[in-house]
Structure 1
């Protein structure tokens, strides 16, 4: 079953995204931990698209599509903004060094990569797409 949501690029829509994901997953036989992991991962990617790729420009929008089959959950987040947004390749930063430096931010995609089984960014035409998948079997 597929479910789709379109939002304008504003942080005020993040709660709507979290509710959309949670509602979609609520009818599936998933643990609360798994549901929370997916909600957090999708929220982080959407926030990155809103803030970093679109500068919170509400004239731009994102499309979320969720599909579920017997073995996996797939989430596609498509950015229709004017900029291609491809985050740097995943790295495992030294968390102790991060804390020592007092850095804030920059750990979101590391978290997403740990929560989801597959994270891919690619372009489709002149738009950026993020595909997340989680094994649910």
Structure 2
């Protein structure tokens, strides 16, 4: 089963994305923890696309596709803006230093990489695509 959603690049649509992902995942007998992990990971990537890749330009949009393949969940988030957005490699940050410095932000993709089994960014034409997958045995 495959499901798709298109949203304008506005933070106002993040709740719609979270609800869409949660409703899709609730069609399977998954733990609440697993559902919450995937919702959080997708929300983080979509927020990055909206804020960093598209500058919250509501004339741009994102396409989100969810699909189960046997025991794997595959998520594709495709940016339709004109800017290529390929985050660099994530490193394990020094959490103690973050807390001491009172830093905010910069931890999202590290979290996504820990929650999902595979995280890939690539280009398709002049658009950026993020593919997330998680094994759901």
Moved over 2 A (4+): none
Q: Does 1:50 align with 2:43?
A: no
Residues paired across the two proteins, number: 137
- Structural mapping, 1:39-118, within 5 Å: 39-118=39-118
Q: Distance in 1 between matches of 2:101 and 2:132?
A: 30
TM-score by length of 1: 0.98
Deviations 1:10-64 (A, max 9, x none): 0000000000000101110110100000000000000000000000000000000
Question: Which runs of no fewer than 5 residues in structure 2 stay unpaired?
Answer: none
Q: Distance in 2 between matches of 1:4 and 1:33?
A: 23
Q: Which residue of 1 aligns with 2:31?
A: 31
| Alignment RMSD | 0.6
Q: Which residue of 2 aligns with 1:6?
A: 6
Q: Which residue of 2 aligns with 1:15?
A: 15
